[in-house]
Chain A
Amino acid sequence: RKEVEQDPGPFNVPEGATVAFNCTYSNSASQSFFWYRQDCRKEPKLLMSVYSSGNEDGRFTAQLNRASQYISLLIRDSKLSDSATYLCVVSSNAGGTSYGKLTFGQGTILTVHP
């Protein structure tokens, strides 16, 4: 089982649609959670951190369920510019060191069409 699993998609949605991405992680000791966005042939960039209480940033809402080891990202009112790959990322301490190991899901591809 992969440490971080995502539905690879692709998701094809019209502008204005609401779309949700899910992610599960296997390491119950994971400490921090993130969604990164990666445009085609570009580097990953942080979209938002994910907190236990849930958090919102404009049209984006992230949720974390530690009991189920499940993370979600909701995008409302999709824009053409939202087309990208969305990476679920989980951080955990590696071997008791201070290094925070990031484990990346393989990404979910989103295409928003007119």
Chain B
Amino acid sequence: NAGVTQTPKFRVLKTGQSMTLLCAQDMNHEYMYWYRQDPGMGLRLIHYSVGEGTTAKGEVPDGYNVSRLKKQNFLLGLESAAPSQTSVYFCASSSPPGTMGETQYFGPGTRLLVL
């Protein structure tokens, strides 16, 4: 099992460019999440999904869009990148809360630099 994988690992964008970050999990988890991590801020939730075809906003959704067309994949899109979106992006997946598998499993992260 690969667990949670993310592509790309690192990317440099110019302001205004667009890109899509891909997250894939092979644990058959219903729930998937996108976080960003910035120095001194901890991890903050951008968007999440409780199942295939569903998405919802998290704490810091502005400037991002997501899609969950397949259960195993969760895509994060930046339509027009801004320097404020320079960050490390982590994807995570879990079983529904309250079950034995409540733990969130994280991917290795994508480092994004927006110039």
Among B90, B104, B107, the most chain A Cβ lie within 10 Å of the Cβ of: B104
Chain A neighbourhood of B106, CB < 8 A: 43-45
Given A43-B107, A46-B103, A99 and B42 contact (CB-CB distance below 8 Å): no
Question: How many residues of A are in contact with the other chain, CB < 8 A?
Answer: 24
Is chain B's interface secondary structure helix, strand, loop, or mixed overall?
A: loop
Report the bound CA distance from A87 to B90 in whole Å: 15
Chain A neighbourhood of B19, CB < 8 A: none
Residues of B in contact with A (beta carbons under 8 Å apart):
31, 40-45, 48, 50, 56, 90, 96-98, 102-104, 106-109
Q: Determine how close the nearest CB of chain B comes to the CB of A95; give it in whole angstroms.
A: 10
Given A43-B90, A43-B108, A99-B31, A91 and B102 contact (CB-CB distance below 8 Å): yes
Q: Determine how close the nearest CB of chain B comes to the CB of A42; give it in whole angstroms.
A: 7
* CB-defined A-B contacts under 8 Å, sample of 26: A4-B42, A32-B102, A34-B103, A41-B109, A42-B109, A43-B107, A43-B108, A44-B43, A44-B90, A44-B106, A87-B43, A91-B97, A98-B97, A98-B98, A99-B31, A99-B56, A100-B96, A100-B97, A100-B98, A100-B102, A101-B45, A102-B45, A104-B42, A104-B43, A106-B40, A106-B41
**Residue among A42, A102, A106 making CB contact with B108, cutoff 8 Å:** A42
Give the residue name and chain of the A residue nearest to B48 (CB): A99
B50 near A99 with CB under 8 A, answer yes
Give the residue name and chain of the A residue nearest to B39 (CB): A106
Report the bound CA distance from A5 to B109 in whole Å: 24
